[in-house]
């Protein structure tokens, strides 16, 4: 089972990519380097998606939510 995408946070702390990753996290806060992607089937309308977007926007600690449009 693969639970996520690999990113520069998995690299050696001495690598340029990892140092950049750490600086971004420090400057912009936790979660900046690891967005949560949610996929929804909207073939029968997007009412559920619209509600999910609203709920996520109201969730404490969520920095930004877009609906992909």
- Predicted pLDDT at 23: 94
Q: Is 16 helix (H, G, I), strand (E, B) or coil?
A: helix
Same domain assignment for residues 49 and 68 = yes
What integer pLDDT is reported at residue 2 of this predicted model?
58
Dihedral sign, Cα of residue 11, residue 31, residue 52, residue 43: negative
Helices and strands, number each (H, E), in the chain = 2, 0
Provide the residue range defining the domain that includes 44: 36-69
Q: Is residue 16 located within the same domain as residue 43?
A: no
**pTM of the predicted structure, to 2 decimals:** 0.55
| Residues 44 and 67 reside in one and the same domain | yes
Q: How many domains does the chain have?
A: 2
pLDDT tens column, 1-57: 556 677 888 889 999 999 999 999 999 887 788 777 787 777 877 667 888 889 999
Residue pair 40/52 in contact by the 8 Å Cβ criterion: yes
- Shared domain for 25 and 50, answered yes or no, is no
- What's the residue count for the chain? 69
Stated as kind and residue range, the H or E segment containing 49 is: helix 47-58
pLDDT at 59 over 60: yes
**Residue 20's pLDDT is what?**
94
* pLDDT for residue 10: 86
Give yes or no: residues 23 and 52 share one domain: no
Residues 3 and 28 in one domain: yes
């Amino acid at each position: 089972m693969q639970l996520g995408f690999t990113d520069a946070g998995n690299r050696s702390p001495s690598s340029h990519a990892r140092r950049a990753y750490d600086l971004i996290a420090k400057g912009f806060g936790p979660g900046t380097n690891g967005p949560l992607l949610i996929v929804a089937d909207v073939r029968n309308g997007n009412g559920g998606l619209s509600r999910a977007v609203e709920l996520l926007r109201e969730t404490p600690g969520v920095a930004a939510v877009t609906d992909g449009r």
